[in-house]
Chains A and B, each alone.
Chain A
Amino acid sequence: MATVFMKWLETQPEKYDRGIQLLTLGKLHKLQDRLVRCLVQQGMRVLEIGCGTGALTVAMAAKGAEVVGIDLDAGMLAQAENRLAASGLDDGVVLEHMDAVLIVERFDPGSFDLIVSSLAFSELSRDAQAYVLSACRSLLAPGGRLAILDETSPPGWIARIAVAMVHIPLRFITWLLTRTTTHPLRNFQGMLERVGFRAGIIDSEWMGSLCLFLAEPKLDDGAQPLPISFKGRLRHRLSLRTLLVDLWAVFFRIIPPYPKVQPGLYAIGQPTPDSPVLLTGNFDLTVRRLVKAIDSKLHAWLLVVDSGGINVWCAAGGGFLTAERIIGALSTSRLDEVVNHRALILPQLCANGVDGWLIRKQTTWGVHWGPVRALDLPAYIQSGRKKTDDMRQVRFPLRDRLEMLAATMGFYALLILIPVMLIWPSSFWPLLAAMLGLSLFYTITLPWLPGQDGLAKSLPLTLIALVGMLLYSWYVQSTALADIFNRVVGLTGLSVFVGAELQGMSPRMRGEQANWGWEAIIAVLLGLAYWLIPRLMGWR
């Protein structure tokens, strides 16, 4: 469907109907017709979500149904009222200006025999779609049904490509003009099943890109329907996608957006109502490491809370992962309907920002601080949440240090070495060697370097680098004093930079990220020295 045209039509209620019919070449009308003919009967109580200008509303009222139509757009509703008055059917119809997500608050449970919606769900976000669907389930009377007619992302890649060829240019233009876009429904049948409907597609047009779904609530067979925020099962797997995400994360780790996981409730393995509930932030790597550590060892529920795509330690320290967010996630996930216990396992490393007592006071959940490393989770849970001292302390072994070195230096190597290669090709290799050598030395000897934070630890590093360079320059190369001076300035700067940069690698050192002030001062002093001393000494 021509999205630009649709968006324009929505701002022009009086032209909307003719436009839509023109746009769908009458197909929408055909599907609406079928809906009314097959599903609407005399005296039925019908809720229409997103009634728009009331074309479907009037058709249903004409068959003798009592229709309640809701829409968020007052202009469209005014058109619908005119149309109703003109058709003389306004007795059996109530129109309300309201948001679809508020229907549970507004209507009593079981008050409709049929809920219909035409081209409205594709305007909602995916979470809102799921929420409204589960609301519909509670509003339906016994034997009631749900009929949804909407734009869908068609099944099968050939159809998807064909539809995309038409859609993508139109979407792009629409976005340019209005900065908005619609969301054709994706796997809508799956969503209907998840919120507790038995659903099928009873008719479709345009290669499956315009579908009429019919759904009825599944009878309670004892099994609880999974809550609406349930996002599926997580499994440990490596793919090209994870590789690319990781590469992106390595090279652009300080540039948002960080790779994120959609917040919500996930299952790992085959959890039951007795299974433990774990919680973590929504940084992609955090979630994948956690899943890798416990997949095939444990069955568990995992509640992923929005931490802005940041790891739990930094997110808690920076106010992104808070007790309030966790309390919110506990209620919207309806976790209490899924499990029969109230033990929530939080990562120990979010305790610097998440107020455990606030969660205990405001919810019925008990807070347990899990181990520092996800790898220890199976042992921790299997021992009945007994945490050994080893599990509660941050270690920073060589393997982790080397990993962090690769992650940190990848970005700076790009940032520093690529311009150097282009502008001063002669200093490329010495600089690369110095950078690699210094950071490797620093990484390996870190636990034995004196000082408590990275900057202090970089001072001995600087001394060692300078002594080595001086000895080499004097005895092996017999370099001119001016060049040695340049090297002193360069190496000092590099050492301080490497040390200060690598200090934030682990929650073991104090003062992370509070050192850039000192770094700036050192940089200014070095710059001054570099400018002043050669002039004083008459080298330049």
Chain B
Amino acid sequence: MAESPSMLEMLTEHIDLARRLRKLQIHFYPERCKGVWQCYEVCPVGCWRPDYEKRVVTFESGERCIACGACVLQCPEKAIELKVPND
């Protein structure tokens, strides 16, 4: 029993996770964007807006973002990251 984490440890770990999840923010590196628009394709809350002339996307709304990570996973250029600021 000694090796397994105690209830308190699990609780604090989980609360830390919840806190971080709440603070997660999209970091977008527009210089890496090649206009594949997969992020726009998969975002369920409409955070991304394609710019068809410049062949890039713009990140529109951090407020709506639910931090699901779909855009991060589908971006072939690794132009999107999801992280907690100052972490």
Contact = CB atoms under 8 A, between A and B. Distances in A.
Say whether A and B bind each other: yes
Interface of A: 317, 348-349, 351-357, 369, 372, 387, 389, 392-394, 452-453, 507-511, 514-518, 520-521
B44 A518 contact: no
**Majority secondary structure, A binding face:** loop
Contact of B11 (A353, A389, A508, A517): A517
Interface in B34-87: 38, 40-46, 63, 65-70, 73-74, 76
A379 B44 CA distance: 18
Contact of B44 (A353, A372, A387, A511): A372
Interface residues of B, number: 27
The listed residue with most A CB atoms (<10 A of its CB), out of B41, B43, B70, is: B70
Contacts of A389: 46
24 contacts: A349-B44, A351-B70, A352-B42, A352-B68, A392-B42, A393-B44, A394-B44, A452-B22, A453-B22, A507-B44, A507-B66, A507-B68, A508-B44, A508-B45, A510-B24, A510-B66, A510-B67, A511-B22, A514-B14, A515-B18, A517-B11, A517-B12, A517-B14, A518-B15
B42 to A, nearest CB: 4
A507 B68 CA distance: 8
B14 A392 contact: no
A348 B41 contact: yes
A355 B18 CA distance: 25
Contact of A393 (B38, B45, B63, B76): B45
The listed residue with most B CB atoms (<10 A of its CB), out of A349, A510, A515, A521, is: A510
B66 A356 contact: no
B44 A510 contact: no
Nearest to B18: A514
Contacts of A372: 44
B18 A317 contact: no
Given A357-B74, A517-B14, A518-B15, A394 B45 contact: yes
A508 B70 contact: no
Nearest to B38: A356
Nearest to A509: B66
Interface of B: 11-12, 14-15, 17-18, 21-22, 24, 38, 40-46, 63, 65-70, 73-74, 76
A357 B41 CA distance: 14
Contact of A351 (B24, B45, B73): B73
The listed residue with most A CB atoms (<10 A of its CB), out of B11, B17, B42, B46, is: B42
Contacts of B46: 389, 392-393
Contact of A510 (B12, B14, B22, B38): B22
The listed residue with most A CB atoms (<10 A of its CB), out of B44, B45, B76, is: B44
A266 to B, nearest CB: 25
B15 A508 contact: no
Contact of B74 (A351, A511, A516, A517): A351
A1 B53 CA distance: 74
A355 B14 CA distance: 26
A251 to B, nearest CB: 27
B68 A369 contact: no
A274 B17 CA distance: 47
A387 B50 CA distance: 13
A13 B17 CA distance: 58
Q: Which 6 A-B pairs have the closest CB atoms?
A: A351-B42, A517-B15, A514-B18, A351-B70, A517-B14, A352-B70
Contact of A355 (B21, B24, B44, B73): B73
